[in-house]
Structure 1
């Protein structure tokens, strides 16, 4: 595997070697291949290769590709004009000396091609060739920087999502597990059968949370399994204060949603609704498929608190997952009287 520097150098050598072969072939097509034509082809190709390497170094050292398209184009255009002029300034005197001493053969009159109009034409042809190389090189660099930028953006987004998920785990698991363990300790001596059931439900909830976090989407049926285990654990803690009603459309069970999305809504409803309402209340869960969209509604008693919505890690994670999905979904909280309704829609 060639390193980028050597790969670029090899590509440049191949480009200018092809340019040299092109000049020689054109000489053969319009006349004959003379020693002068070969000398011009080899010398000019070597000069333009050197100019290109100098241009490459200057552009990278001075960070031209970070200046914007217009400022970059102006600098590259100036380099092409100056580089072509320098190439001719070096080549023409050497070629003239070689021609006047008959070291190379240009044609019947070895010095006929050194008139001012011809020199201007040579400079223009050289500038055109150098401009072609510059366009190809700058396009290659721009595409590579774009790909690197996309990779960096995707990596940053992945790290951000991972950080959000880690923060979500750190917020959800400790208080949930702490309550469950306290309840388990109380049940061990009072109701061993219920204690075993609690351990099973808690273990299943944590296992699903870990498994689902490695996936992009899960089915509604899988998510409902997580919710059932979660509610079973929470019902031990809240007892009669937590009353759950549900309306599940069987046709929606195979639809897809982000992992832990429904569990987050249920957890949020319990934490900010049931837990803060004297005597608890009813948590209602409604899931249905409608016109190619999954529609979920979770309702609980309470009031929407702006600060909790703004700083909530779980809701921020959910909004991010929905916004960055292949087909973005939507999420919103609505206040209906004394109840808060969380609405989530996910295109399928």
Structure 2
């Protein structure tokens, strides 16, 4: 609102200065025909009032209505009509101010020139106003489009994150239900862990990146819950140096990847499985690699398998406009997901 008011004041100031310059020029021209400064100034003042009103009217109309491509002829007609009205106003007003017969004769002889100059002034005003307001409308449209795209992107990011939670939440609640009967202490501990995890999830915002250290703290909460579910079968290895811990990444990015690794690593096996998470920095990128073993006979992970990986790919595209930040590899019985996070 403040910027709009400042702009409006600047436009009014420019309009006033332009009117004064026009009036001064007209005064000088009339004086050069042999009339004294009083008559020249009187003519200029009387002529400037209807001309300023006409320019204000055309500018005010164009502020709220821009003619289409087929309607410019209407704008031309309006300029002609307003120029004629200004000329007639001067023609009938000046004789009442006792300016003398010589000046009245000069006034009548200069009507055509006055009509032409009035048309030029109003036409220039119309053209400048039209160009100005069209540009302002384009800027407003671009701003609205950008805001709409931002809202749509935020809504999609939010939707992607929300789709990641129910599966994990239902499994956790089922595990808590199973623990209540014979391991109530474990059930209470799992409830506290789940509460901390969900509280951290709700506080996250995709527009504000977090450090890898903070992301790993949140991931450990998730892994603690999963270890209650799977017991000794789930082992984890997390390795990264101190430099990596300061790298930034979108929040809650690792949990769905690790969840995907647990799904394909543990669901089809009965033995102990180790999920490894390794991070390093390389060429202004944070590289995070998640590996899990899998049985090729019972589990056939493919590129983009599961909503977790597809959701991560979509999130990274929405945030960085790139489709090359997620890669998957299969080597013997190890499945690897690697994500690259650009570091600004």
Task: Output the TM-score relative to the length of structure 1.
Answer: 0.75
Q: For residue 317 of structure 1, what is the aligned residue in structure 2?
A: 315
Aligned counterparts of 2:309 and 2:124: Cα–Cα separation in 1: 54
- The aligned residue for residue 68 of structure 1 is none
Structure 1, gaps ≥5 residues long: 65-70
Alpha-carbon distance in 2 for matches of 1:293, 1:222: 18
Residue 181 in 1 paired to residue 173 in 2?
Answer: yes
Alignment of 1:121-160 (within 5 A): 122-124=115-117, 126-132=119-125, 134-136=127-129, 138-140=131-133, 142-143=135-136, 145-147=138-140, 149-160=142-153
SS at match of 1:252: helix
1:196 to partner: Cα distance: 3.9
Which residue, 76, 80, 85 being the options, matches 2:80?
A: 85
1:33-74 deviation per Cα after TM superposition (whole angstroms, max 9, x unaligned): 423322211122222323334444542xx6x4xxxxxx4xx8
Give yes or no for contact 1:168–1:314 (8 Å, CA) kept in 2. no
Q: Distance in 2 between matches of 1:333 and 1:179?
A: 28
Shift of 1:131: 2.0
Question: Which of 250, 253, 256 lines up with 2:248 in the alignment?
Answer: 256
Corresponding position of 2:34: none
Q: How many Å apart are 1:317 and its aligned residue?
A: 2.9
- Aligned equivalent of 1:21: 20
> Are 2:212 and 2:244, in contact at CA under 8 Å, matched by a contact in 1?
yes
Q: Secondary structure at the match of 2:288?
A: strand
- The offset of 1:202, in angstroms, is 1.8
TM-score by length of 2: 0.75
Gaps of 5+ in 2: 32-36, 295-299
Other-structure match for 1:274 = 265
What is the distance in 2 between the residues matched to 1:192 and 1:155? 49
Q: For residue 290 of structure 1, what is the aligned residue in structure 2?
A: 282
2:326 alignment partner in structure 1: 332
User: RMSD of aligned C-alpha atoms?
Assistant: 3.9
CA gap 1:98/1:231 in 2 versus in 1, 3 angstroms: closer
Structure 2 CA distance for aligned equivalents of residues 309 and 191 of structure 1: 32
Alpha carbons 1:252, 1:288 under 8 Å: kept: yes
- Whole-Å Cα distance in 2 between the matches of residues 214 and 197 of structure 1? 29
Q: What are the residue-to-residue correspondences of 1:65-214 with 2, within 5 Å?
A: 71=69, 78=73, 81-97=76-92, 103=97, 105=99, 108-112=102-106, 119=112, 122-124=115-117, 126-132=119-125, 134-136=127-129, 138-140=131-133, 142-143=135-136, 145-147=138-140, 149-169=142-162, 171-213=163-205
d(CA) in 1 for partners of 2:230, 2:307: 23
Alignment of 1:36-75 (within 5 A): 36-59=43-66, 64=68, 71=69
Residue correspondences, number: 325
Q: Map 1:229-244 to 2 at 5 A.
A: 229-244=221-236
Asked if the contact 1:322–1:330 (Cα under 8 Å) also holds between the matched residues in 2, the reply is no
- 2:340 is matched with 345
Change (3 A) 1:107 1:322: farther
The 2-side partners of 1:107 and 1:275 are apart by 108
| Structure-1 separation of matches of 2:107 and 2:120 | 18
Q: Distance in 2 between matches of 1:296 and 1:154?
A: 32
